[in-house]
């Protein structure tokens, strides 16, 4: 570890070496998505100035937008008071953070005991993720 990466020591990683990461729109403050980061993802996020996460389902690093083109350009990185949650303030290129084609992964609201979809699909997933 070098002086350039000493800041990583302040992050409280869980038993799997992960920390939750909240991506938030840098202008509106809206929460776009929640993902996980490992040490490498956090280092690369800072180095490349874009959202890079650890995909638990794929068991590999995941550059947001690598398939969809909807990249997250990093504007600011914050660590919470306990050191166990990261907030990325990002510019969501393409306007969609969710794989369902919506602005945010948080598109359902509890109304009268039922989850209601309150955000429209901006682009169908079939159009976003063209399988070759």
What's this model's pTM, rounded to 2 decimal places? 0.89
Averaged confidence pLDDT in the chain: 93
Q: What pLDDT was estimated at residue 130?
A: 67
Higher pLDDT, 8 or 2: 8
Contact 34, 99 (CB under 8 A): no
3-state secondary structure of 24: strand
Q: What pLDDT was estimated at residue 56?
A: 93
The domain 3-94 is placed in CATH, from the list 3.40.50.300, 3.30.470.20, 3.10.20.810, 3.20.20.80, at 3.10.20.810
Domain residue extents for the chain: 3-94
The answer to whether residue 88 scores a pLDDT higher than 70 is yes
- Number of C-beta neighbours around residue 54 at 10 A: 22
Average pLDDT over residues 67-73: 93
DSSP-assigned letters across all residues of the chain: --GGGGGGGGS---TTS-EEEEEEETTT--EEEEEEE-HHHHHHHHHHTB-EEEETTTTEEEETTTTT---EEEEEEEE-TTS--EEEEEEEGGG--STTSSS-S--EEEETTEEEE-S--SS-HHHHS---
Tell me the per-residue pLDDT of 29-66, one tens digit each, with 9 for 90 and over: 999 999 999 999 999 999 999 999 999 999 999 999 98
Contact 52, 45 (CB under 8 A): yes
């Amino acid at each position: 570890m070098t002086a350039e990466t000493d800041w990583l020591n302040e992050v409280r990683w869980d038993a799997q070496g992960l920390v939750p990461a909240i991506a938030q729109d840098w202008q509106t403050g809206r929460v776009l998505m929640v993902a996980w980061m490992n040490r490498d993802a956090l280092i690369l996020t800072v180095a490349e100035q874009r959202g890079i996460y650890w995909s638990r389902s794929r068991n590999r690093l995941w550059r947001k937008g690598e398939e969809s083109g909807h990249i997250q350009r990093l504007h600011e990185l914050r660590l919470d008071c306990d050191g166990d949650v990261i907030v990325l303030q990002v510019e969501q290129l393409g306007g969609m953070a969710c794989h369902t084609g919506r602005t945010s992964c948080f598109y359902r609201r509890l109304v009268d005991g039922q989850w209601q979809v309150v955000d429209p699909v901006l682009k169908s997933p079939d159009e976003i993720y063209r399988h070759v």
